[in-house]
Amino acid sequence: MSTLEQPRPPFPPFDGESAAQKVRMAEDIWNTRDPHRVSLAYTPDSLWRNRSEFLVGREAIVRFLTRKWNKELGYRLIKELWAYQGSRIAVRFAYEWHDDSGNWFRSYGNENWEFDDSGLMRRRIASINDAPISEKDRKYFWPIGRRPDNHPGLSELGL
């Protein structure tokens, strides 16, 4: 295993605690908005469906995330565990962002994840919808980066 393929505990099969830990780790890394760091959580040949785009591999993931975060400014994400079994985890999420004209959005979605034995994600299937929101309807106000531990999650926010 190369340095790019370091094991990523916790490993499958997941229980409730390890699945929730994996979800928070994913949220934290995505909130860095660093495409290269994010890509290292996936297998080199990871398969993605994100909305209507189909991606294969880390290079495609980096290109996709670079394009995404150049458009989705002020990105802040919260993920929540929905279900788990064996090497699979289902997640619901919502993130807030604005475009270069200052229009705010909350994007809602669901993801299905499948992990290899080393804890790297080998498949990610995401369905996402964007809803325009006014700035006064925002709910995510922490500084860019990791969501503070005391910040409410999706259920607590009524999302």
pLDDT of residue 1: 46
pLDDT of residue 3: 47
Sketch out the chain's domains with CATH numbers: 8-139 (3.10.450.50)
With contact defined as beta carbons under 8 Å apart, do 96 and 105 qualify? yes
Mean pLDDT of 28-40: 98
* Secondary structure class of 157 (helix, strand, coil): helix
pLDDT of residue 4: 55
Two tokens, residue 18: 């390890």
pLDDT of residue 137: 97
Distance CA 68, CA 114 (A): 22
Helix (H) or strand (E) holding 96: strand 88-98
Question: Which alpha helices (DSSP H) does 7-126 contain, by range?
Answer: 16-30, 35-39, 58-71
Distance CA 13, CA 119 (A): 10
The per-residue pLDDT of the chain, averaged, comes to 96
pLDDT per residue over 93-145, tens digit each? 999 999 999 999 999 999 999 999 999 999 999 999 999 999 999 999 999 99
Distance CA 17, CA 150 (A): 18
What pLDDT band is residue 5 in, cutting at 50, 70 and 90?
confident
pLDDT of residue 8: 94
Mean pLDDT of 55-81: 98
Distance CA 84, CA 28 (A): 19
